Amino acid sequence: MLSKKSQYAFKALTYLTEKYNEGPVLISEIARKKRIPLKFLENILLELKKADILDSKKGKGGGYFLKKSPEKIKVASVIRLINGPIAMLPCVSLYFYERCKNCNEKHCGLHDMMIEVRDATLQIVENRTLRDLVV
């Protein structure tokens, strides 16, 4: 399951997608409109900024905004950043791979199946962007 933090991140990002090219948006505005605890949202936005997804401007008239256009920001990369691995097992993860101890990956039915699950999921989340989330 996605953490609440991830859900907040997506809410904030879709809001910023709707406001794309309208200049910086206040953290407090996003928090109010999307019902996200302000200080918690602060951390999330900062993390998204450090990952080059958002950019910000300080002082009066400042706020947060998308650094790239919404159709260039993949859902998969947001999930990996805020939530972590997409795969169900470390031994089938592409970005968070860890070898499976006491389990031969060559002859493990669970492993093979979880690769299928991973690929079916990636097929979707790697091909959707923030733009697709705004209906």
Our finding on whether 52 is near its own copies (CB under 8 A) is: no
Q: Give me the least distance between CB of 110 and its own copies, in Å please.
A: 5
Three-state SS for 101? Answer: coil
Name the binder of 94 from DNA, its own copies, none, CB < 5-8 A by kind: none
Tokens matching residue 50:
């450090």
Helical spans, DSSP H, in the chain: 4-18, 27-34, 38-50, 75-82, 109-125, 130-133
CB closer to its own copies, 56 vs 100: 100
Neighbours of 106 (CB within 10 A): 7
Q: How many CB atoms lie within 10 A of CB 107?
A: 8
Contact between 85 and DNA by CB under 7 A: the answer reads no
80 binds, among DNA, its own copies, none (CB under 5 to 8 A by kind): none
Binding mask of the shown chain, residues 30 to 49, with x at each position contacting its own copies by CB under 8 A: ----xx--------------
Our finding on whether 135 is near its own copies (CB under 8 A) is yes
Phi, psi of 25 (to 5 degrees): -115, 135
Binding site for DNA (CB under 7 A): 3-5, 8, 24-28, 37-40, 42-43, 45-46, 49, 56-64, 84
